Every structure is written in C-alpha cells, then in structure tokens.
C-alpha cells in the first residue's frame, strides 16, 4: 500500500484502498478481525492516508476498533535536542498513567 498524494495525482485506486477494504470486510464478517492498526509515516501524505483510512473503516464497520501507532519522543533521547513538532506530538498523544 502506498500513500495518498493529491499534489502528484495519487488517489485511492492507485494505492489499493479498494482491495484493502475488501480484505478487511471479509475478515470482519468472518469474525477474525476486531482491530486495525494504521501504521503510516508521519508525513503530510502519510497523515492524509491515515485519516482517510480511519474514517473509511469507522464509517463502514463501526464495531471495528481502529487505532494508529503513537508518535512522540523515542526512548533514551535528550529532550533538549528534540524538535518542537516532536514535542508537540508527544504532548498531544499523551495518555493517563
């Protein structure tokens, strides 16, 4: 699977979204799939693709749990050398301990 990129003309049919939706649909109907984890790069194209897939899955199968890999600070990093975008994402994605 690739990534959506409206700027370069890459749409859902170019990256196999229809095939993915069929595979997920079969697995959901057979009761063998309860969760889909979206693992896309945190780039504008990756974010656009992830948001598209998340909404498509939730709309079609409301009972399906749809999650995305967390983003934020890697283990062992010095926070003073971390860029502001990474810190902002870590704060936004935080969870109660």
pTM: 0.76
On the question of pLDDT at 69 being above 90, the answer is no
Q: How far apart are CA 69 and CA 54, in angstroms?
A: 12
On the question of pLDDT at 6 being above 90, the answer is no
Encode burial over 35-58: b for 16+ CB neighbours within 10 A, e otherwise.
ebebebeeeebbeebbebbbebbe
pLDDT tens-digit series, residues 29-58: 999 999 999 988 888 888 889 999 999 999
Output the average pLDDT for the chain: 87
Q: How far apart are CA 27 and CA 37, in angstroms?
A: 14
Give the three-class secondary structure for 68.
strand
On the question of pLDDT at 97 being above 60, the answer is no
Sorted by where each starts, the structural domains of the chain and their CATH numbers stand as: 6-70 (3.40.1360.10)
């Amino acid at each position: 699977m690739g990534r959506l990129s409206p700027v370069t003309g890459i749409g859902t049919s170019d990256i196999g979204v229809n095939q993915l939706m069929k595979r997920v649909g079969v697995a959901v109907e057979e009761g063998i799939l309860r969760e889909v984890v979206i693992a896309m790069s945190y780039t504008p194209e990756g974010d656009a693709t992830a948001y598209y897939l998340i909404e498509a899955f939730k709309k079609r199968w409301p009972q399906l749990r749809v999650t995305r890999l967390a983003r934020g600070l890697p283990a062992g990093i010095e926070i003073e050398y971390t860029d502001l975008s990474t810190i902002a994402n870590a704060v936004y994605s935080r969870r109660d301990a």
